[in-house]
């Protein structure tokens, strides 16, 4: 069934496999989407395809999930992440900190520029690429009042 499903799915999937957990069988399908709406939409498509091709008499639960929002970034590919929310760690202090979250707004030869919230003030922070020890995409969380 997995091979038939792979042939029918017309979008990218990272992995698909049957897995046993606590005595139950799951069909785990990881997709590269991060939006809940996209995950729900793709889950419905997968479910419809399963109804078309499922000729196995196996009881299982469908588990469609995301690879997640947080991905480490290679600076060579930083242009792909313009306008995305990033976590940047540096080995040198910038405005008295070595870790910043913000939207990437520029990629220059020697530095990047992120838009940050610095104690309630929105400002641009220029960081030299040589000072970056780690950079990844991250989810922006809002505090509920």
Most confident of 24-28, 70-74, 104-108: 104-108
For 5, the token pair is 């499903």
Torsions phi, psi for 54 (to 5 deg)? -70, 100
pTM across the whole model = 0.54
Asked if CATH classification 3.30.300.70 holds for the domain at 2-66, the reply, yes or no, is yes
Quote the pLDDT of residue 68. Answer: 66
Residue with tokens 């606590």: 22
Q: Give the pairing of strands 121-128 and 111-118.
A: antiparallel
Bridge partners, 19 (sequence order)? 26
Domain boundaries, the chain: 2-66, 75-137
> Using one digit for the tens of pLDDT, what is the confidence trace for 5-26?
888 899 988 889 988 877 888 8
Q: Give the pairing of strands 15-21 and 85-94.
A: unpaired
Could you please state the CATH topology (level 3) that the domain comprising 75-137 is classified under.
Answer: SH3 type barrels. (2.30.30)
Quote the pLDDT of residue 52. Answer: 86
For the segment 19-42, the average pLDDT, to the nearest whole number, is 82
Question: Quick one: what percent of the chain has pLDDT higher than 90?
Answer: 34
Beta strands in the chain (DSSP E): 15-21, 24-31, 61-66, 85-94, 97-107, 111-118, 121-128, 132-137
Helix and strand counts by DSSP (H, E) for the chain: 2, 8
Q: Give the pairing of strands 132-137 and 121-128.
A: unpaired
> Using one digit for the tens of pLDDT, what is the confidence trace for 118-139?
888 999 999 999 999 999 887 6
């Amino acid at each position: 069934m997995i091979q038939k499903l792979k042939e029918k799915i017309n979008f990218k999937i990272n992995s698909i496999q049957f897995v046993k957990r606590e005595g139950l069988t799951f069909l785990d399908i990881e997709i590269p989407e991060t939006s809940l709406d996209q995950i729900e939409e793709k889950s419905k498509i997968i479910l419809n395809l399963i109804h078309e091709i499922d000729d196995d008499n196996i009881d299982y639960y469908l588990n469609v999930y995301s690879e997640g929002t947080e991905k480490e970034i290679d600076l060579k590919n930083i242009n792909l992440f313009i306008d995305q929310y990033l976590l940047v760690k540096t080995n040198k202090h910038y405005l008295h900190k070595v870790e910043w979250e913000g939207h990437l707004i520029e990629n220059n030869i020697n530095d990047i520029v992120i838009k940050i919230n610095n104690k309630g003030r929105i400002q641009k922070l220029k960081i030299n690429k040589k000072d970056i020890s780690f950079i990844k995409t991250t989810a922006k969380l809002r505090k509920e009042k």
